[in-house]
Chain A
Amino acid sequence: MSLPLERELEGMPLEFANHEESIKITGFWMFLVTDVLIFASLFALYAVYQGGMGGGPDPAEFFHLGPALFETLLLLTSSFTVGLSIWAMRRGQTRAMTAWLLVTLLLGAAFVVTEVSEFVADVAQGYTWHQSAFLSSFFALVGTHGAHVTFGILMALALLVQLSQRGLNAITARKLFTFSLYWHFLDVVWIFIFTVVYLGGKLT
């Protein structure tokens, strides 16, 4: 097919120059819209349930800023490294691209490990989501984010295998680009979680 649109796109990055792949990027943005709304709904639940302590702890005694701060650091750094990976991809430096993607993945894994150990510690203290609506909404919101990060890591692993098999082409370039969109998005969500949930929780 040689639609006029395709000619306009010449000279653009690999993932946009291919009409079909650029359509997939549009589709991915639409997916992110739905994900934004998922998190918005979970935030709404959390905001309402902040007072619904039931018999459980209240936010001030429940939250520990230390691990949360560490997680923030990990995720913000990983957002930077995935940007470096895209930068390397645009310049055709495949090795740097792969390396930075690997670093991103490891930082993400460290984030997940920290979060899971935090959750495990909470449960060990007897703070389960059965205890109160507040804890239910906390675990659901932060847990959904954590599940997204985990899924992102699986995506990145699969992508690394594909990159090693096929090198950089329009399809793998698009996949890496959409992965970076996804990763930045999770970073933005985390910034909201950190400010609203952890900082906000400590302040009340």
Chain B
Amino acid sequence: MAQKGFRARGWWKWGALATGLLAVSLTGCGPQYVLLHPAGPVARDELNLMVLASIAMAVVIAFVLALLGYVLWRFRDRPGNPAPYRPEWTHSRWLETLWFVIPALILTVIAVPMVGQTYALAKVPPKSDPLVVDVTSLDWKWLFQYPQSGVATVNYLVIPTGRPILFELTANSPMNTFWIPALGGMEYTMSGRVLPLWLEASQPGTYWGRSGQFSGVEFEQMFFQVKAVSPAQFQAWVNQVKGQAPAMTLADFRRLESPGTVGTITYSAYPASTFPAVTHGFTLDGGMYMVMSNRPEENQPGAPMSMSSQPKASSAAHARSVAPSAGMSVQPMKMPMPSSTPMQ
């Protein structure tokens, strides 16, 4: 009857679905699958964990699908189905324990390395000398500052290969996330806070980064390019910038702060006050935290830098000194910020 005809058609559709999905997944793994082609140790570790978890989950999915298919085939309500009808069989302690324990075991396989990885990724590898890059997300552009050399860029990054990069992330705008998928996972940029993130590029190349957190009408423009070059080339680039590019003034910074988009810009120097001063430390569980050292709201009502958890006393003592360099005026550590309501 109709039931039977439908059944044949049904299976055909399931088959079509499976073929379609297979076809789609076979197109995968090209270079556009940026998460599958890590270019640094952080992204590689994250990918390895992803592969492990995917395999474990694929086993679960395959098992459930097979079981479901079998049950469906065997126990269909059709005339003359020889399978036993056992409406009284309503529980089995043994089976139910089994499918409580097995998922737990599978999850343990994922959970154990997850714990280790999470702690490992929280801090820069010891005994390395990370390059520090201060990142500020603005409406709608990225400002990158290199405190060790004093140069700054907008909407593009140049980093040396083989050396951990410690990004210190903050915002002077609504939230964004800072993400270079080829190098590793993302972290939020939030005004009033400085969050650390370390990444490293193993090979030279050009990668891209963008924001993952919607931040307004030009959000699509929160995009930047990352050029990973050899340490020697990196030093050459810094020297070249110092020699040729103009220095950023506070007025320049204010222009960057105002909503809008710009192309790429290079500066040979920047006022230290354009990034909150931070100190580094390590918490007991191995994670790194940062403390903003200056609390401008005391003398500057309305300034956005305010974190309730910072110890008041540590301000001046822990202020990180920005390596002084030519063309850079070291100013008091104070955040020049727009009034809290820029629209007014």
Residues of A within 8 A of B (CB): 48-55
Of all chain A residues, the one with the shortest Cβ separation from B302 is: A55
**Closest 3 A/B residue pairs (Cβ):** A55-B301, A51-B308, A52-B308
Contact with A along B166-194 (1 / 0, CB 8 A): 00000000000000000000000000000
Residues of B within 8 A of A (CB): 297-298, 300-302, 306, 308-309
Most B C-beta atoms less than 10 A away, residue of A48, A49, A50, A52: A52
Q: DSSP majority for the A interface?
A: loop
Considering the chains assembled together, what is the distance between the CA atoms of A54 and B304 in angstroms?
8
Of all chain A residues, the one with the shortest Cβ separation from B309 is: A51
Q: List 18 A-B contacts (CB under 8 A).
A: A48-B308, A49-B308, A50-B308, A51-B308, A51-B309, A52-B306, A52-B308, A53-B297, A53-B306, A54-B297, A54-B301, A54-B302, A54-B306, A55-B297, A55-B298, A55-B300, A55-B301, A55-B302
Residues on the A chain within 8 Å of B297, using CB: 53-55
Residues on the A chain within 8 Å of B302, using CB: 54-55
Residues on the A chain within 8 Å of B301, using CB: 54-55
Q: Report the minimum CB–CB distance from A136 to chain B (whole Å).
A: 13
Of all chain A residues, the one with the shortest Cβ separation from B192 is: A52
Considering the chains assembled together, what is the distance between the CA atoms of A34 and B308 in angstroms?
28
Of all chain A residues, the one with the shortest Cβ separation from B300 is: A55
Residues on the B chain within 8 Å of A48, using CB: 308
Residues on the A chain within 8 Å of B298, using CB: 55
Residues on the B chain within 8 Å of A49, using CB: 308
Residues on the A chain within 8 Å of B306, using CB: 52-54
Q: Report the minimum CB–CB distance from B22 to chain A (whole Å).
A: 48
Considering the chains assembled together, what is the distance between the CA atoms of A116 and B306 in angstroms?
30
Residues on the B chain within 8 Å of A54, using CB: 297, 301-302, 306
Residues on the B chain within 8 Å of A53, using CB: 297, 306
Q: Report the minimum CB–CB distance from A83 to chain B (whole Å).
A: 40
